């Protein structure tokens, strides 16, 4: 954040799995980075409250200066758009292989939570998916709706007007670290999926070498908005808590859907039939 938030915009948090206030690992003022001694979840406390985080996403410039820079205005785009499209294609290939489908086709309904400027949603549509999308960023919603000509929900997943068992796939790329409660979020995803449906995730890996060695200088820490941090082990446990099985994770930066990302992981899991 450019300036420190006022004290009344901060709130204390506890581990969403255990309710433990956590041990302070280090500070990134005014935020604290804590680790749950029971389940090893890393989280931010104190953190910005919901209104404070919402104001970040409502800022029209939220995506600028990130890997989405310029993608909302230029369909051809620059380097950022190139990487987003590369990851989108790789993630669709990974998803198809996980689901036992040909990589160049699709058959089903897919919801993207956190669609940003719609680059992944556009790739999914081109593959043949029936796509629905949503984001908490008004700028992202407007750009995706204009680009793809589909209705895009603005808001949180809890408020989205989707019926249970509506989707074959729910994709949430770099989203889980932002949500108020990852356990509640994944339970809602589980409810939205058909039996046998797939949740597909990407998110920062707090057990990665950059995260462990750089600490406050880790470029993905971003404690004003990334309020939960997972390792492969804690992510797998959280997915299992929500009722998912067949959990497949990769942290390799050579994987097409994670290419070049040294501190990120991809995960796929199944709602049992």
Q: Which of 167, 169, 177 is nearest to 92 (CA)?
A: 169
pLDDT at 81: 75
Which of 52-61, 97-106, 263-272 is predicted most confidently?
263-272
Q: Which two tokens stand for residue 27?
A: 């500070």
Global pTM exceeds 0.85: yes
Is the torsion defined by CA of 175, 100, 160, 136 positive or negative?
A: positive
pLDDT at 63: 56
pLDDT at 77: 56
Cβ atoms of 203 and 230 closer than 8 Å:
yes
pLDDT by residue (tens digit) across 198-248?
999 999 999 999 999 999 999 999 999 999 999 999 999 999 999 999 999
Local structure of 155: helix, strand or coil = coil
* pLDDT above 70 as % of the chain: 91
Q: Which two tokens stand for residue 80?
A: 């950022």
pLDDT at 3: 67
Domain positions in the chain are 7-270
Q: What is the mean pLDDT of residues 101-123?
A: 92
Local structure of 177: helix, strand or coil = coil
Q: What is the mean pLDDT of the chain?
A: 91
pLDDT at 83: 85
Residue 243's region, left for phi above 0, alpha for psi from -120 to 50, else beta, is left
* pLDDT above 90 as % of the chain: 81
Residue 153, class by beta-carbon neighbours within 10 Å (0-12 exposed, 13-18 middle, 19+ buried)?
buried
pLDDT at 262: 96
Extended strands (E) in the chain? 10-11, 23-28, 31-35, 42-44, 47-48, 109-113, 130-135, 152-154, 167-173, 193-204, 228-229, 245-250, 264-270
**Strands 47-48 and 152-154, how do they pair?**
unpaired
pLDDT at 71: 52
pLDDT at 85: 87
**Strands 167-173 and 152-154, how do they pair?**
unpaired
Report CA 211 to chain centroid distance, whole Å: 17
pLDDT by residue (tens digit) across 42-94?
999 999 998 999 888 777 666 555 545 445 444 555 666 788 889 999 999 99
Grade residue 107 by pLDDT with cuts at 50, 70 and 90.
confident
pLDDT at 56: 85
- Rounded CA-CA distance 42/166 in Å is 32
Lowest mean pLDDT among 11-25, 68-82, 176-190, 239-253: 68-82
Superfamily (CATH H level) for 7-270: Vaccinia Virus protein VP39 (3.40.50.150)
């Amino acid at each position: 954040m450019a300036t420190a938030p006022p004290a009344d915009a901060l709130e204390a948090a506890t581990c969403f799995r255990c309710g433990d206030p956590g041990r302070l690992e280090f500070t990134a003022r005014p935020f604290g980075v804590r680790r749950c001694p029971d389940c090893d979840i890393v989280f931010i406390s104190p953190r910005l409250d919901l209104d404070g985080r919402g104001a970040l996403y409502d800022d029209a410039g939220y995506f600028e200066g990130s890997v989405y820079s310029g993608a909302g205005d230029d369909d051809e785009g620059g380097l950022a758009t190139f990487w987003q499209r590369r990851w989108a294609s790789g993630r669709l290939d990974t998803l198809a292989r996980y689901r036992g489908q040909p990589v160049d086709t699709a058959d089903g309904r897919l919801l993207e939570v956190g669609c940003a400027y719609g680059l992944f949603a556009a790739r999914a549509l081109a593959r043949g998916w029936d796509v629905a999308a949503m984001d908490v960023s008004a700028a992202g919603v407007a750009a995706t709706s204009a680009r793809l000509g589909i209705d895009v929900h603005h808001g949180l997943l809890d408020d989205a007007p989707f019926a249970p068992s509506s989707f074959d796939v729910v994709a949430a790329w770099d989203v889980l670290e932002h949500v108020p409660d990852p356990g509640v979020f994944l339970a809602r995803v589980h409810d939205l999926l058909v039996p046998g449906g797939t949740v597909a995730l990407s998110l920062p890996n707090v057990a990665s070498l950059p995260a462990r060695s750089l600490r406050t200088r880790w470029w993905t820490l971003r404690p004003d908005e990334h309020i939960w941090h997972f390792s492969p082990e804690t992510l797998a446990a959280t997915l299992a808590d929500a009722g998912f099985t067949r959990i497949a994770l990769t942290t390799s930066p050579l994987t097409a859907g994670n290419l070049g990302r040294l501190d990120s992981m991809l995960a796929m899991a199944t709602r049992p039939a």
